[in-house]
């Protein structure tokens, strides 16, 4: 099988894992159009106000005094550390992924939904946060340049690309996720995905999404609730799902981006024919076939089967407060 050298660009999208819910079986939203999630949260400007929510006790921890529902933070960094075998793979993946984040092509947002004070002295506060795929007011054509510096006016969540996470927040402003979470992540706008897949109707997985499981994250919130630093996350993508994901071979250069599948192609998972059938010949390459050819080991149990049947993805991350809207503004 012929393997494209840059086909591993899919990771830009999975970086997003990072942040961490497969869509429910009754969610039938059509990903052929860019439909934002219907969100009742309040729009939050980047200069987050520092008023103290009524349900958060006054403490010496400054982050607990400014943390409030509606604050949204976008991932500004995801430094992949795993898989570390074969040697050099994380560096190669990061070289593709970092430009997509910097140019606002790859967008993962964490939005605080609620904060609950500690149940007792010394116990952590608890938070619920929505995490997942986001887009903004700019079009793909505006930010297609590899080193684009255009800054969106605001971000919003994409439908079917988010999940809610439970977090514990300590008095030192460090936090961690509670329990495993999952995420069906869609990189890029709905109708212009940075990865290509036909989707998996049997598990209600929409097209052009990456199913992540076993997601966990931790980090630290700064004193004015505008940054997350010292953070780490990990997750797992099923080997079978990897075989039905195609990445754009020229990424992070998307100037020749095109989708024109060949219905007559064989479409066999983990081979080039799958990408030819569902995406386009030569421009898209199969991720599962790529990592198998490299010899990347299976290091995680995607579905609690008792055996390693997925690829581990893990690394450091950071995030910064951004303007956030419940829906796109005309």
Quick: pLDDT tens for 151-192.
999 999 998 789 999 999 999 999 999 988 999 999 999 899
pLDDT category at 53 given cuts 50, 70, 90 is: very low
Q: Which helix (H) or strand (E) holds 285?
A: strand 284-286
Q: Which of 131, 126, 127 is nearest to 110 (CA)?
A: 131
Q: Indicate if the pLDDT at residue 30 is higher than 50.
A: no
Q: For residue 152, what is the DSSP state?
A: -
Residues contacting 207, CB < 8 A, separation 6+:
31, 193, 197, 198, 199
Contacts of 230 (CB under 8 A, 6+ apart): 174, 219, 220
Contacts (Cβ under 8 Å, ≥6 apart) of 277: 261, 262, 263, 264, 265, 266, 267
Average pLDDT (243-262) is: 94
Radius of gyration over every alpha carbon of the chain, rounded to an integer in angstroms: 19
292's enclosing H/E stretch is: helix 287-294
What is the average pLDDT across 91-118?
A: 92
Q: Is the pLDDT of residue 93 over 50?
A: yes
In contact, 258 and 248? CB cutoff 8 Å? no
Judge if pTM exceeds 0.85: no
Least confident segment among 7-11, 93-97, 159-163, 294-298: 7-11
Q: Which of 325, 313, 316, 328 is nearest to 13 (CA)?
A: 313
Nearest CA-CA partner of 145 in 186, 188, 102, 91? 102
Is the CB of residue 254 less than 8 Å from the CB of residue 194?
yes
Confidence of residue 62 (pLDDT cuts 50, 70, 90): confident
Question: Would you say 110 and 17 are in contact if contact means Cβ atoms under 8 Å apart?
Answer: no
Q: pLDDT tens digits for 6-22?
A: 443 443 333 333 333 33
Residues 6+ apart with CB under 8 A from 183: 16, 17, 19, 20, 21, 22, 131, 132, 161, 162, 163, 211, 212, 215, 235
């Amino acid at each position: 099988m012929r393997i494209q050298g840059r086909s591993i660009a899919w990771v830009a999208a999975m970086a997003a894992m990072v942040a961490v819910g497969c869509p429910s079986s009754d969610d039938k939203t059509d990903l052929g159009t860019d439909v934002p999630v219907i969100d009742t949260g309040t729009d939050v400007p980047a200069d987050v106000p520092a008023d103290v929510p009524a349900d958060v006790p006054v403490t010496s921890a400054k982050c607990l005094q400014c943390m409030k529902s509606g604050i949204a933070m976008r991932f500004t960094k995801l430094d992949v550390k795993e898989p570390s075998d074969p040697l050099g793979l994380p560096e190669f993946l990061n070289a593709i992924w970092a430009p997509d984040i910097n140019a606002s092509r790859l967008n993962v947002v964490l939005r605080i939904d609620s904060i609950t004070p500690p149940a007792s002295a010394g116990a952590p506060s608890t938070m619920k946060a929505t995490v997942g795929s986001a887009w903004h007011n700019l079009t793909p054509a505006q930010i297609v340049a590899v080193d684009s510096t255009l800054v969106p006016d605001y971000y919003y969540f994409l439908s079917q690309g988010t999940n809610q996470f439970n977090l514990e927040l300590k008095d030192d402003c460090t936090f961690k996720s509670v329990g495993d979470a999952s995420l069906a992540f869609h990189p890029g706008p709905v109708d212009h995905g940075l990865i290509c897949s036909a989707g998996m109707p049997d598990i209600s997985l929409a097209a052009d999404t990456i199913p992540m499981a076993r997601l966990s994250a931790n980090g630290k919130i700064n004193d004015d609730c505008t940054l997350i630093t010292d953070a780490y996350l990990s997750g797992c993508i099923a080997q079978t799902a990897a075989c039905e994901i195609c990445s754009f071979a020229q990424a992070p250069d998307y100037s020749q981006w095109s989708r024109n599948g060949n219905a007559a192609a064989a479409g066999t998972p983990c081979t080039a024919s799958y990408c030819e059938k569902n995406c386009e010949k030569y421009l898209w390459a199969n991720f599962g076939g790529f990592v198998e050819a490299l010899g990347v080991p299976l290091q995680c149990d995607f579905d609690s089967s008792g055996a390693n049947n997925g690829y581990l993805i893990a690394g450091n991350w950071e995030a910064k407060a951004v303007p956030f809207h419940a829906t796109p503004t005309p």
